Amino acid sequence: MSKILTGNELLSGAAVYLDGHGRWIEELQSARVFGADEGGALEAAVGASKATGRIVSVETEDVEMRGGAIYPLRVRERIRAEGPSAPRVGRQHLAEDEHVSI
């Protein structure tokens, strides 16, 4: 099963994803997708992220690629990526000093 790494940024609480450059970013579609054979890299990324002290509730989430897009299997993750659905009030955004990298 493919996985992504997600969490919430400490200062804003915003839902964020780890991308391929080690940056924690807002866009699910720019997240790094870890293949089933990348368990070691995933584990290292979890460790490095926790070590920043700036990403809270670090979790891995199961995803599939659907039509070239990342599709989280849990409804919860799909809503987390989009923000509240009714009405769509938009997600929490990172301010300038709220960007974190590992």
Partner 1 sequence: MYRYDEFDAAFVSERVQQFSDQVRRRIAGELTEDQFRPLRLMNGLYLQLHAYMLRIAIPYGTLAARQLRMLAHVARTYDRGYGHFTTRQNMQFHWPKLRDVPAILADLASVEMHSIQTSGNCVRNVTVDQFAGAAADEIIDPRPVAEIIRQWSSLHPEFIYLPRKFKIAMTGAPNDRAAVKFHDIGLMAQTNGSGEVGWAVYVGGGLGRTPMVAKLINGFVPHEHLLAYLEAILRVYNRYGRRDNKFKARIKILVHEEGLENIKGQVEEEFAQMRGGILTLPEEELERINAYFALPAYEDHGVVNIDIGREKILDPAYGRFLENNTFPHARQGYTSITVSLKPIGGVPGDITADQMDAVAELAEAYSFSEIRVTHEQNVVLPHVALTDLRAVYDGLVEAGLADGNVGEITDMITCPGLDYCALANARSIPIAQDIAHRFAAPERSREIGKLKIKISGCINACGHHHVGHIGILGVEKKGTELYQITVGGDGTEDAAVGRILGPGFVAADVPDAIEKLVDAYIEKRESPDETFIAAYRRLGDAPFKEALYGNG
| Of 38 and 50, CB closest to partner 1 | 50
8 Å CB contact between 9 and 17: no
What stretches of 40-86 adopt beta strand conformation (E)?
55-66, 69-72
Q: Which stretch binds partner 1 (CB under 8 A): 11-19, 27-35, 38-46?
A: 11-19
Min dist. Cβ of residue 19 to partner 1 (A): 19
Told to check if 84 binds partner 1 by CB under 8 A, we report yes
Largest distance between two CA atoms of the chain: 40
Q: Which stretch binds partner 1 (CB under 8 A): 17-25, 28-36, 39-47, 72-80?
A: 72-80
Binding string, 19-58, against partner 1, x = CB under 8 A?
Answer: ----------------------------------x--xx-
Starting from the edge strand earliest in sequence, which strands make up the sheet with 69-72, in order? 69-72, 55-66, 2-9, 15-18, 23-25, 100-101
